[in-house]
Amino acid sequence: MTAVDPEVAVVPAASEQPEQQRKPLKAKLLDVVRWVAVAVVVFFAARQLITNWAEFWATIQGIPWQSSVLSLLVLILSIGVGVYAWQVIVNDLGTPVGYPRGAQINLVGSLGKYVPGSVWAYLLQMELGKKAGLARARIFTSSLIHFGVGVVAALILSLFAMPAVFANSPRAWWLLVLIPLGLAALHPRVLTWGTSLVLRILRRPALDHRFSYRTVGTVFGALAVVYALQGLHLWLLANSVGAPGIGGYVLCVGAMAIAMTSGNFAFIMPSGAGVREVVMVAVLTATAISGPQALAFALASRVMFTVADLVTAGTAALTARLGAAQPRAGTEGEVSR
């Protein structure tokens, strides 16, 4: 991209003074608010883990430890791929950011989903991005595109679980109607127009370039891999009681795609609590898995997601903090908002 990034601003020489000497009171208060926000979301996430620990441990004891460990590692890998998809969008909207920097913003901010009202995740990501020198509008737009492309990818992969979905909920046909609409929205022209509209609403300059097929395809492919890995995570748990081989894996991929999307839309509940489990149980019971077993695996998956979120966010924050101790070239400025 050859055009001048609108987020980059010329910083006066006075800004080279130590940050502690030039930071105004408002900035100091915002720092306190950010730390409080991080503490709150970590508290809610940890509370959910502690609350469900007994049920989780009882379920996990019946699963071979190799399957449990591998399932958690696969889940962590899926989160890492999801961050990559988000970073591709962020890089397309401005000065590229490194993976550690982007992971800190995305993963630590995503812990806000554990607070009732998933909007907190977006707000926390925006504030962490602002702290790192990125405009709030850029972070919000990237997260919004990431969510939208993820929904379309999930709708397509949900086709794998449609037989089970229709068997339990005949009215779910509306999911099929949304697929062509979602694919149309992913056309680079349409996606660029929609993104520019959001930026204008946020009183930011519209995009100075159009999204490429390569960018959209990369993000879509990465998010499809995310759901494939999440399906593998669920299959590794369910396979311990006889999920039917490859067919069971395909069904688990569709189940996770539907469950995660349904949970994202249930923004009132922390991290879609309850909604994801209902969908997962409905699909798993279409196999040889009984209702109680399906519920146990759904609960185990929920807690594993919480553990994976805390591990990845903690690792990203530690990595970014260690990297901050070293001089960083090319830091991106931003227009204050």
Distance of CA 141 to the CA centre of its chain: 14
* Cα–Cα distance for residue pair 255/158, rounded to 1 Å: 7
pLDDT of residue 5: 46
H or E, element range at 162: helix 162-168
Residue pLDDT tens, the chain, 337 long: 444 444 443 334 343 344 444 557 766 666 666 566 656 656 665 665 577 667 666 666 777 878 888 999 999 999 999 999 999 999 988 888 888 888 888 888 887 777 765 577 778 888 888 887 888 888 888 888 998 899 889 888 888 777 666 665 556 566 677 788 888 989 999 999 988 887 788 777 788 788 999 999 999 999 999 999 999 998 888 777 665 677 778 888 888 887 777 655 544 444 445 566 676 777 677 666 666 777 778 778 888 888 998 899 888 888 767 766 555 444 444 433 4
pLDDT of residue 75: 94
Tokens of residue 183, six digits: 């694919």
pLDDT of residue 157: 87
Cβ neighbors of 265 (< 8 A, separation 6 or more) are 272, 275
pLDDT of residue 87: 92
pLDDT of residue 28: 65
pLDDT of residue 94: 83
pLDDT of residue 336: 36
Query: How many CB atoms neighbour CB 25 within 10 A?
Result: 7
